[in-house]
Amino acid sequence: MTDAQTDTPLYLDTTRPVEERARDLISRMTLEEKVSQMRNSAEAIDRLGIPAYDYWNEGLHGVGRNGRATVFPQAIGMAATWDTDLIYRVATAISTEGRAKYHETLRRCGNTIIYQGLTFWSPNVNIFRDPRWGRGQETWGEDPFLTGEMGAAFVHGMQGDDPHYLRTAACAKHYAVHSGPEDERHTFDANVTRRELFDTYLPAFKKLVTEANVEIVMGAYNRLYGIPCCASPLLIQEILRDKWGFKGHFVSDCGALADFHQTHGYTKDVVESAGVALKAGCDLSCVCTYEHLPEAIERGLITEKDIDESLIRTYTTRFKLGMFDPVEKVPYAAIPMDVVGCEEHRQLAYEAAVKSMVLLKNRNNILPLKKETRDIYVVGPNAANLDCLLGSYFGINDHMVTALEGLSLRAPEGTKVEYKMGSLLAQQSANPFDWSLEAAPAADVTIACMGLAPVLEGEEGDALLSAKSGDRESLSLPAPQVDYIKKLVVRGARIVLVIFSGSPVVLGELEDMVEAIIQVWYPGEEGGKALADVLFGNATPSGKLPITFPASLSQLPAFNDYSMNNRTYRYSKETPAFPFGFGLSYTKFTYNQLILHETNVKMGQPLELKFNITNAGDVEAEEVAQIYLTDVKASTIVPQYKLIGFKRIHLQPGETRTVPFTVTPEMMMFINDNGDPILEPGDFVVHVGGSSPSQRAVDLGLQANLTASFNLS
């Protein structure tokens, strides 16, 4: 179809709806050409002016795997900020850099290859249900509500707010019930209850689809109720498209469609796998299988119309991105390359790193380091390690600051800073005598930069030193590090333990041996500078844990048990080492005067409440106030505590702030055994504080949560 007056093909008419343009373009393709567009590496169709395009790009915590970019903290670190505004600004920076790099690549090369496009397969909103999972570092933690709030902010920042064009297209992955073990992801069948599916595993995906309008959803490798997720009518059609109204396109995880016949035994061969996936609504295949779609047509498994409908969805995304429009019409096409790694984004990476760091212990307020501190000894395998800044799916640049570099930059003149690695990451030293132990007793403080690195945890095949395809068999620090810390303590060292990791580390007896503990995750390019500023008091720690740190491996159910029974703060009865939501500060926050406007609430009506929070210390700081709800007696299993709100609050010394909050009827609902949200009359308890409700948090130095009860009738 063409415009009668201009002979312009309809698909190039920018005044027409994007879906109509996509449909017109696809109608001009031969079957062979259509099939060439059904995998992530879509081929060029020169006669229609379609360049080659690869849909696979990564933006988990910065533009990934494509050279220079700002490197923000790994997603689990950004989750520890509990700051949706910050995450929106970070994602805006990522998508802005992605746009600049995309257009510069087109100008230089004429097309893009893998990791150079505008379809970013991020964020990962799977639930970090078990701390052994190597890919947990990519997630936003163990809580469905926190994951949804942070993930939605990320999507809004990635996709922008232009009424006609997406800045980039974001992707909610991996749908669904996907969270390790990595070595079973191609074979396992997740037989969770309908209640667990809708209570834990799906809420974040729903939030991103229904409220953030995420453009792409990626299916997981595993099966759910016996059917591979990338061919699940329940997941793709019934829930995603019909119930939630998803209008974007659905992509498989890479190689997932080949798993149908190779590992799941769900189909007999590759042709059937292709046909079953497409018929179920999987629009795009990553790397495999869809080249066999013509054979699937011949067998009667699908029709060419099925291919057309999927292509309309993927091409609608490309039209929304302005890929077939004059550059002067696309508002993002003029973004200059000097935004990539710019000072503004560098400062944003620094802010994110500072806010992500969680102070877990601070005996006798050894931190921040005092002016009298003259002799600092820095040890550990992560002190000068670049890898521990990065995490997985990362970009690179020439301004990344290690812990050692940050400390040397920040230490005032007259303060002696000495460094020796001391301990290797996961191997015992071969030296018969360790000179690094001799300097520690004389130092005022020893900064021990320990923990993990991506070689110890990550995706299947990424973690080179992991025995379980990227997952962790132990939650403890590697034995060489434990032994080394003990040797330091025996010699009288006063240790500030800095833990780099993408998942919880169990310290055991080391917790009592060291003076302070700070969890810094994989903090990105400014991690060393942010750490130094926190240690020296130029910045105050304000991060909160987005995942429970268990006291031991024995507290966890079997890794391959996907039931939520005794998992996460919501259902576990165990006493953790550090609770979900926990994090100390250099000041003391007090909560008081929790007031409910009503104690008897009518069904369907909201509850208004307010509480006061005071900075009772002498340090300006930020606190993350958290609101939880308990349904005292429901007709089925419900969380013992459910996060329903949080707010990051900046307070001057002595300042008090009154915080209002509305408990909506939706927050009072629970998921019944059929997977449906219902509202039941009964008694409820509201909990307000600086952590999830836990006596352990009180023992570690936080005020007990305020509580108040109300009845719903």
Q: Which residues are catalytic?
A: 253, 457
**Among 313, 304, 175, 160, CA closest to 232:** 175
Q: Tell me if 72 sits within 8 A of 141, measured CB to CB.
A: no
Residue spans of beta strands (DSSP E) within 31-97? 41-42, 53-54
Dump the DSSP string for 618-685: SS-EEEEEEEEEEESS-SS---SSEEEEEEEEEE-TT-EEEEEEEE-HHHH-EE-TTS-EE---EEEE
Q: Tell me if 197 sits within 8 A of 474, measured CB to CB.
A: no
d(CA 660, CA 594): 10
d(CA 700, CA 689): 14
Burial of 132 (0-12, 13-18, 19+ CB in 10 A): buried
Distances from the Cα of 449 to the Cα of 52, 75, 82, 370, 533, angstroms = 45, 21, 24, 19, 15
Plot region of 524 (φ>0 → left; ψ -120 to 50 → alpha; else → beta): left
Q: Tell me if 601 sits within 8 A of 609, measured CB to CB.
A: no
Q: What is the CA radius of gyration of the chain?
A: 26
Report residue 286 as tokens: 């990553």
User: Chain centroid to CA 9: how far?
Assistant: 42
Reduced to 3 states, what is the DSSP secondary structure of residue 709?
Answer: strand
Q: Which amino acid is at 350?
A: Y
**Residue 272 — φ and ψ, nearest 5°?**
-65, -40
Q: What is the 3-state secondary structure (H, E, C) of 183-203?
A: HHCCCCEECCCHHHHHHHHCH
Which residues fall within 8 angstroms of residue 309, CB to CB, at 6 or more apart? none
